[in-house]
């Protein structure tokens, strides 16, 4: 992951939210993102992206304990814990 990744994530989320705030459909936003990136992006991708980013802004999506159980070992040091 590059040094600019956190900045890109925040800016991209903000821009897509602004486009949606202008009453553009998920289909239209997907078309814009697809045109800009050259990747195939569906309306469902936009819906899911916004949903997961909104959740991730408020809480950890997967707890350290769940990661420990799934991996069968101790979770990595430095992982933030849910509040």
16 backbone dihedrals φ, ψ, rounded to 5° = -65, -40
pTM: 0.76
Q: What residues contact 52, with CB distance under 8 A and at least 6 apart?
A: 61
Q: Where are the domains of the chain?
A: 5-71
Residue 79 confidence (pLDDT): 58
pLDDT score at 70: 94
Low-confidence ranges of the chain (pLDDT < 50): none
| Cα angle: 28, vertex 25, 16; to 5 degrees | 75
Q: Nearest to residue 12, comparing CAs of 71, 52, 72?
A: 52
Determine contact, residues 36/19, Cβ cutoff 8 Å: no
pLDDT score, position 1: 66
């Amino acid at each position: 992951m590059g040094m600019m990744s956190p900045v890109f994530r925040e800016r991209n989320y903000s821009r897509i939210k602004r486009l949606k705030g202008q009453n553009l459909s998920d289909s239209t936003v997907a078309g814009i993102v697809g045109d800009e990136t050259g990747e195939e992006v569906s309306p469902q991708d936009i819906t899911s992206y916004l949903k997961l980013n909104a959740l991730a802004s408020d809480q950890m999506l997967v707890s350290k304990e769940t990661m420990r159980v799934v991996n069968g070992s101790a979770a990595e040091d430095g992982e933030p814990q849910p509040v």
